[in-house]
Structure 1
Amino acid sequence: MSNTASLKKEYAERIVPALKSQFHYSSSMQVPVLKKIVINQGMGIAVADKKLIEIAINEITAITGQKAVATISRKDISNFKLRKKMPIGVMVTLRHEKMYEFLERLVRVALPRIRDFKGIESRFDGRGSYTLGIQEQIIFPEINIDSIT
């Protein structure tokens, strides 16, 4: 079995019953579940250099194991020298097995590599979404430190 199976198994066997008893849920279907993980990298400087988008796509693809796509601007903003449909970022949406794989690597490998790591905040927005900002992608072992520009 892979690590993904162990994370899903741990969730089903240990976490769901604990949450069910803690919050007095009558059914295990009431326990919150992960639906997707969206990884997004905004590249404001990519307006000047188009190669940065390709580099970012390759890095996010290496980190997630799934092909990333470029995000494009929706409208012109002259102050930023931005035109409609220019690539300005990279994103990938992970679901099912790849989502659990990424979450496992994030929690057990990447986050402990952050210098002076004191944990993550436990605040969610009103809709059940959680946002985590990471300043440097070099915390992931898939990224070679020497290749960073």
Structure 2
Amino acid sequence: MAVRMKDRYLNEITPALIQKFNYSTVMQVPKVEKIVINMGVGEAVSNSKVLDTAVEDLQKIAGQKPVVTKSKKAIAGFKLRENMPIGVKVTLRGERMYHFLDKLFNVSLPRVRDFRGISNKAFDGRGNYTLGLKEQLIFPEIEYDKIDKVRGMDIVIVTTAKSDEEARELLTQLGAPFVK
């Protein structure tokens, strides 16, 4: 599945982008560098077992073990101390990245309720795209009966594109279901 998307990138998308943006070398063509999936688990402050299930869920979704993120500073209003575990994140590169991207665009996003497409406005000005999901149930690896709580996550697609226009074209060619 992942090889299919990478082959398409190399054989179809790269020549199309070279033609559209008039690049002089293949090295100028934007590509997906990495995907970072972050899951903030605020309840971990009072219940540390919640973090274990979040790690388990993210591991099933991403196919690799996530790292536990810790708080940088204490916030009394949230009963949060410095270096307390409050989330999990995973960085995907290479083969796993293409596999996840393929699964996200073709399987998971169409399973979102009332899905009309992803926003065109979530680019950061440097060619990176951020997507927020409200529930982990859209991924086929997560079984509805086995989850304790519905958790959302942030997915950041980091590209080597210089502008948002180039990144949008790259993701559209890869099959991102943008709102028409």
What is the distance in 2 between the residues matched to 1:18 and 1:128? Answer: 18
State the percentage of identical aligned residues: 54
Residue in structure 1 matched with residue 70 of structure 2 by the alignment: 72
1:47 aligned to 45, 69, 72, which one? 45
> How many correspondences in the alignment?
147
SS at match of 1:37: strand
Higher strand share: 2
What is the distance in 1 between the residues matched to 2:119 and 2:29? Answer: 20
SS at match of 2:43: helix
Extract unaligned runs of 5+ from structure 1: none
Q: Which amino acid aligns with 2:105?
A: V
Residue in structure 2 matched with residue 135 of structure 1 by the alignment: 134
Higher relative contact order (CA 8 A, sep 6+): 2
* 1:47-102 deviations in Å (ceiling 9; x for gaps): 11101100000000000100011100011110100001111001000011111111
* 1:25-61 deviations in Å (ceiling 9; x for gaps): 1222111111110000011121111011000000000
What is the distance in 2 between the residues matched to 1:34 and 1:96? Answer: 9
State TM-score, norm by structure 1.
0.95
What is the distance in 2 between the residues matched to 1:56 and 1:148? Answer: 10
1:91 aligned to 69, 73, 89, which one? 89
Residue in structure 2 matched with residue 126 of structure 1 by the alignment: 125
- C-alpha displacement at 1:21, in angstroms? 0.8
What is the distance in 2 between the residues matched to 1:62 and 1:143? Answer: 7
What is the distance in 2 between the residues matched to 1:36 and 1:134? Answer: 18
Q: Which amino acid aligns with 1:125?
A: D
Q: Which amino acid aligns with 1:36?
A: K
Q: Which amino acid aligns with 2:32?
A: L
Cα root mean square deviation, aligned: 0.9
Extract unaligned runs of 5+ from structure 2: 149-180
State TM-score, norm by structure 2.
0.79
What is the distance in 2 between the residues matched to 1:11 and 1:112? Answer: 22
Over 6 Å off, 4+ runs: none
